[in-house]
Amino acid sequence: MNGFHMDYEVFLFIGVVLTLAAWLWTKFKKLQRSDNKRLQTIVAVGSFFPLLLIVFSFRSFAYEPFRIPSSSMMPTLLTGDFIYVDKTAYGVKLPIVHNTLIETGTPQRGDVMVFRSVEDPATDVIKRVVGIPGDHIRYDERTKQIFVNGEALPETFEGPYNGFHDDINPNGLNQRATITGEVEHKILHSDRVRHRYAHRELVVPEGHYFGMGDNRDFSADSRVWGLIPERNIVGQAKGIWMHWRPSAFIDGLKRIGTQL
């Protein structure tokens, strides 16, 4: 994954550069008021520079909002959740090129992490970190059990899943409690779905991570497309700041403020 992709961050950066050029030009020429429409346009464009700079800086170096588009992280995250992602949790990175400027930490087992897709860098993906560098990961397709360094992650059956969502029929989904690293959370399994995965057993190399969705049988993750390069990491998902789906408005309000 060399270079960069044309995403919102790139367009926002271009906007900052263009408005900066207009702002500097108006200051250099001392253009505040003019009857010339072209000059008025330049002044107007330049006036957006401070706002775009603040938005770009905050989004690039601090926090960034994301909307959950699918059911792969149920029951932790639902379609329609709006989350905020801490972009300083795993290092301060340069915008666009994503080179790390300052090391601040590394992903830990159990973290909910946003990263650029291994298959399509223009798409952001969210999964839970299950394996970190040096870990031996094995997924048993028969029992649907995850083993980390030879030890099975504990799972306790809690019963049929009755949560609200629009994406898939809940019939056949069972909820289990588990612990990944030091994080206690819920996962879902389906009695009706079984897959053959390309990556069922491996050792996570340096600079890579193994991620999985909490909705285990409805998640394309490291079992499908492989490991997550450190360079692709965007940040750590911290919490839900809004939920919007007209079909579940009241229940959605209850999710606001949920920490991950």
For residue 100, is it within any domain? yes
Given this model, what pLDDT does residue 39 score?
77
* Domain count along the chain: 2
Say whether both 23 and 70 belong to one domain: no
Strand locations in the chain, DSSP E? 63-67, 81-86, 92-93, 100-102, 112-116, 124-131, 136-140, 145-148, 151-152, 155-160, 173-180, 183-190, 201-203, 208-212, 228-229, 233-243
Given this model, what pLDDT does residue 162 score?
82
For residue 140, is it within any domain? yes
Q: Who has greater pLDDT, 14 or 205?
A: 205
For residue 44, pLDDT over 60 is answered with: yes
For residue 203, pLDDT over 90 is answered with: yes
Range from 97-101, 134-138, 192-196 carrying the lowest mean pLDDT: 97-101
Q: Which of 38, 59, 80 is the last residue of a domain?
A: 59
For residue 76, pLDDT over 80 is answered with: yes
Q: Which of 43, 59, 75 is the last residue of a domain?
A: 59
For residue 193, pLDDT over 60 is answered with: yes
Say whether both 27 and 125 belong to one domain: no
Looking at 70, 71, 72, 222, which residue is catalytic? 72
For residue 89, is it within any domain? yes
Looking at 71, 127, 219, 222, which residue is catalytic? 127
Domain range spanning residue 34?
8-59
Say whether both 82 and 136 belong to one domain: yes
Q: What is the mean pLDDT of residues 98-121?
A: 89
For residue 9, pLDDT over 90 is answered with: no
Q: What is the mean pLDDT of residues 190-202?
A: 91
Say whether both 37 and 86 belong to one domain: no
Structure tokens at 65: 């909002």
- 70 annotated active-site: no
Average pLDDT, the chain: 86
For residue 1, is it within any domain? no
Q: Who has greater pLDDT, 148 or 1?
A: 148
Given this model, what pLDDT does residue 6 score?
43
Say whether both 126 and 168 belong to one domain: yes
- 72 annotated active-site: yes
Predicted confidence band of residue 253 (pLDDT cuts 50, 70, 90): confident
For residue 2, is it within any domain? no
pLDDT tens figures, 174-190: 999 999 999 999 999 99
For residue 176, is it within any domain? yes
CATH number at residue 182: 2.10.109.10
Predicted confidence band of residue 60 (pLDDT cuts 50, 70, 90): confident
Say whether both 71 and 41 belong to one domain: no
Say whether both 41 and 165 belong to one domain: no
Partners of residue 140 on adjacent β-strands: 145
Neighbouring C-beta atoms of residue 178, cutoff 10 Å? 18
Q: Which of 44, 59, 74 is the last residue of a domain?
A: 59
Contacts of 181 (CB under 8 A, 6+ apart): 108, 109, 110, 111, 129
Say whether both 110 and 197 belong to one domain: yes
